[in-house]
């Protein structure tokens, strides 16, 4: 799923929860304090962390590629409207954040991220959010995505036989109805096994 | 939430992710992509209802923030929420909740036009109300420019509203899931 790069570096071994929190903190700080020196410092620090994690510069730059031309357009707009200082700020800030987010996903397994999220939501317990239920919902969601793709392929074939392959409605309605029926079966199966989220731990 | 509710939540979070498999088209100047995923928001509200639909989209946004590549084009991570399109994404759970709430309120007297109105209100007006100022702040363009740039979404949104109404009506007839409130 996420391109995880196994490793033993301090960045890899840092607890996933801490990495998520650091990402949120840096992101918030960079937008709250729009200063070029801070953005450049964050960019430089991110570069150092990539080095520490043993990730090649090529792979690091690959993180920026999907955003490359958005960055170019943003910089040109800023340059035209607000001068080169603000253009550099916008570019440096965006690049630093995207690189940092990429670093977290490159050095953390998705399973560890989910577990960290589930633990991180424990404080919501008094508000009626059960972290074990959230964990179940996350696991089910990740399982449903390939199932949805498979059902869609099946329905598309059936509708092609009827000459309806171009109709999005004729494709989506049977997929959704089948998934709804399947959801009821899955829920019944989970309940039949006496699933009790209050005792499931988490 | 019952087990059935949890499974429904997972289903609509997964449906929104699956709609991201259609390749996105990125708009110039404001740098926000058009995706089929906002239809997932409309369907979650219209089919799963306020509580389950809103929770499904909250779960989806949580997973995206955690770095799973569930957004259109295989994007993910907090960079998405911090980026120009973040306002739209953060409004998705609210939009799904409001759409679900209005659907449940009007369930006994739903007409096609009422459904269109509900989806435009929740899926377009509400999300733009936060999404446009967000673009202006993050991309540092003025509000008018952000609004003008976002106008490019409107044709796509119109198509998505029409599709969502057609799908929601057909699904409701085949497999009713909403309770009037």
- Burial class of residue B21 (count of CB atoms within 10 Å of its CB; 0-12, 13-18, 19+): middle
Asked whether B82 and B125 are in contact (CB, 8 A), the reply is no
Q: Chain B within 8 Å of A82 (Cβ-Cβ)?
A: yes
Rounded to whole angstroms, the Cα distance separating A11 from A2 reads 17
Q: What is the pLDDT of residue B106?
A: 94
Rounded to whole angstroms, the Cα distance separating A11 from A4 reads 13
Measured between CA atoms, the residue of chain A closest to residue B82 is A27
The number of angstroms, rounded, from the C-alpha of B170 to the middle of its chain's C-alpha atoms is 19
Q: What is the pLDDT of residue A167?
A: 83
Which of chain B's residues have a Cβ under 8 Å away from the Cβ of A70? Answer: 26, 31, 84
Query: Which residue intervals of B139-177 are DSSP H helices?
Result: 143-150, 153-174
* CATH number for the domain harbouring residue B101: 1.10.1760.20
B162 domain residue, yes or no: yes
B180 domain residue, yes or no: no
Q: What is the pLDDT of residue B69?
A: 67
Q: Chain B within 8 Å of A167 (Cβ-Cβ)?
A: no
Q: What is the pLDDT of residue B32?
A: 67
Which of chain B's residues have a Cβ under 8 Å away from the Cβ of A134? Answer: 59
Interval A188-197 mean pLDDT? 85
Split into its structural domains, chain B has a count of: 1
Domain holding B71, by residue range, is: 3-174
Where is A133: in which H helix or E strand?
A: helix A131-161
- Tens-digit pLDDT profile for chain B (181 aa)? 889 999 999 999 999 998 887 656 666 556 666 778 999 999 999 999 999 999 999 999 988 877 666 777 566 666 677 778 889 999 999 999 999 999 999 999 999 999 999 999 999 999 999 999 998 888 788 888 888 888 888 888 998 999 999 999 999 999 999 988 8
Measured between CA atoms, the residue of chain A closest to residue B8 is A183
Interval A99-114 mean pLDDT? 81
Where is B26: in which H helix or E strand?
A: strand B25-26
> Percent of chain A having pLDDT more than 90?
22
Asked whether B117 and B78 are in contact (CB, 8 A), the reply is no
Contact between chains at A81 and B138 (C-beta distance less than 8 A): no
CA distance A68 to chain B (A): 11
CA distance B145 to chain A (A): 11
Higher pLDDT, B164 or A133: B164
Locate the domains of chain A by residue range.
10-109, 122-192
């Amino acid at each position: 799923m996420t391109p995880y790069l196994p490793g033993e570096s301090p960045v890899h071994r840092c607890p996933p929860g801490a990495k998520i929190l650091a990402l949120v903190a840096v992101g918030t700080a960079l937008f709250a304090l729009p200063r070029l020196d801070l953005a450049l410092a964050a960019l430089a620090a991110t570069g150092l962390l990539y080095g520490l994690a043993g990730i090649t510069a090529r792979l690091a730059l690959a993180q920026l590629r999907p955003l490359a031309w958005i960055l170019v357009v943003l910089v040109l707009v800023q340059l035209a409207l607000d001068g080169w200082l603000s253009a550099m700020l916008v570019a440096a800030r965006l690049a630093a954040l995207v690189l940092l987010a990429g670093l977290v996903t490159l050095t953390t397994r998705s399973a560890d991220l989910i577990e960290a999220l589930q633990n991180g939501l424990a404080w919501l317990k008094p508000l009626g959010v059960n972290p074990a239920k959230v964990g179940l919902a996350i696991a089910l969601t990740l399982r449903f995505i390939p199932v949805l793709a498979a059902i869609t392929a099946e329905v598309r074939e059936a509708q092609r036989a009827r000459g309806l392959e171009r109709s999005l409605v004729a494709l989506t309605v049977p997929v959704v109805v089948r998934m709804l029926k399947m959801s009821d079966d899955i829920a019944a199966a989970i309940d039949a096994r006496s699933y009790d989220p209050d005792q499931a731990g988490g | 939430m019952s087990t059935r509710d949890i499974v429904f939540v997972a289903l609509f979070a997964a449906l929104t992710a699956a709609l991201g498999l259609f390749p996105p088209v990125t708009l110039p100047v404001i740098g926000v992509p058009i995706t089929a995923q906002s239809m997932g928001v409309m369907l979650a509200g219209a089919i799963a209802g306020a509580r389950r639909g809103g929770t499904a989209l909250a779960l989806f946004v949580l997973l995206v923030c955690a770095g799973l590549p569930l957004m259109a084009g295989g994007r993910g991570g907090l960079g998405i929420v911090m980026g120009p399109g973040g306002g739209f994404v953060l409004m998705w759970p609210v939009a799904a909740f409001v759409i679900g709430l209005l659907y449940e309120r009007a369930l006994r007297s739903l007409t096609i036009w009422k459904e269109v109105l509900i989806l435009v209100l929740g899926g377009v007006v509400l999300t733009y109300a936060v999404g446009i100022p967000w673009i202006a702040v993050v991309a540092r363009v003025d509000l008018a420019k952000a609004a003008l740039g976002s106008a490019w979404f409107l044709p796509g949104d119109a198509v998505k509203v029409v599709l969502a109404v057609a799908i929601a009506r057909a699904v409701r007839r085949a497999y009713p899931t909403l309770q009037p409130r």
